Every structure is written in structure tokens, then in C-alpha cells.
């Protein structure tokens, strides 16, 4: 089970191109876009839509909106991760992964994640070798 930081790192507020015209976008997590719809007297419905194949599933119905409370976002993120339509996370690898995706993972690892630790320094030759 991923920890809180791992789940929060999966969240993006960038709307995928195929959903630019669809109202109610909330977040993108595990290659799945989440949409919010308010229905009077019923509350909020949250639907997950896979960014690759368009399959969807209702994840949650709530009386109150899902706000930016970290603990609620983590619980919700885990529900999306466990749903039937989710995609892969940022660090999960599928069979047949593209070389470009692997290079993006290497770049993020060496340029974003590891430099947060004091003892790590960016070494261009190491990155070039890994790519």
C-alpha cells in the first residue's frame, strides 16, 4: 500500500487534452481523470475516467465536496487506485513501456527526487548512462 506522500505525488491538476471541454474536472491520478458532478438533493458524485481508454466508474457519492484536505485526498486516491478503470501510477511500469517513458522516469528520479537529499548531487554522466 502506498504511503501518503506517494499518493499525493500522483495527483495532478492538469486537465488531459481529451477532457478539456468536459466540465467538473477535479484531478488526474493514476492516469485517471476524476470528475465531480453536483446533483441537487443528492450531493456530489465523483467519477473516474481512464485517460487511455475512456472507461469510467463512479468512485464515491458525498454530501459535501471533496476539498484539498490531504487525508481525504489520500483516502480518495486509494479508492481510485483500487477501482476497475484506473491506469498506472507515475512509477509503475507496464509491459511494452516506451523508451520515452523510461527516460522521463530516469530524469525525474535523478533531477527531482534524489536532489532533495543532501548527500546526493546531480551528476550528468550518471544520468546519461542511465538514459
pLDDT tens column, 33-78: 999 999 998 899 999 999 989 999 999 999 989 887 888 888 888 8
Q: Is the pLDDT of residue 87 over 60?
A: yes
Q: What percent of the chain has pLDDT over 70?
A: 90
pLDDT of residue 46: 95
State the CB neighbour count (10 A cutoff) for residue 31: 20
pTM exceeds 0.85 for this model = no
| Highest-confidence segment of 13-22, 73-82, 112-121 | 13-22
Residues 23 and 62: their CA atoms lie apart, in Å, by 18
Number of DSSP helices (H) and strands (E) in the chain, helices first: 4, 4
Amino acid at each position: 500500500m502506498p504511503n501518503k506522500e506517494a499518493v499525493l505525488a500522483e495527483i495532478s491538476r492538469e486537465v488531459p487534452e481529451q477532457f478539456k471541454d468536459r466540465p467538473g474536472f477535479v484531478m488526474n491520478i493514476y492516469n485517471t481523470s476524476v470528475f465531480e458532478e453536483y446533483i441537487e438533493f443528492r450531493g456530489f458524485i465523483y467519477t473516474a475516467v481512464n485517460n487511455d481508454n475512456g472507461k469510467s466508474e463512479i468512485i464515491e457519492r458525498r454530501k459535501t465536496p471533496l476539498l484539498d484536505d490531504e487525508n481525504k485526498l489520500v483516502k480518495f486516491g486509494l479508492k481510485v487506485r483500487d477501482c476497475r478503470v484506473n491506469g498506472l501510477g507515475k512509477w509503475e511500469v507496464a509491459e511494452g513501456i516506451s523508451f520515452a517513458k523510461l527516460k522521463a522516469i530516469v530524469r525525474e528520479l535523478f533531477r527531482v527526487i534524489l536532489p532533495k537529499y543532501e548527500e546526493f548531487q546531480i551528476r550528468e554522466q550518471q544520468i546519461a548512462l542511465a538514459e
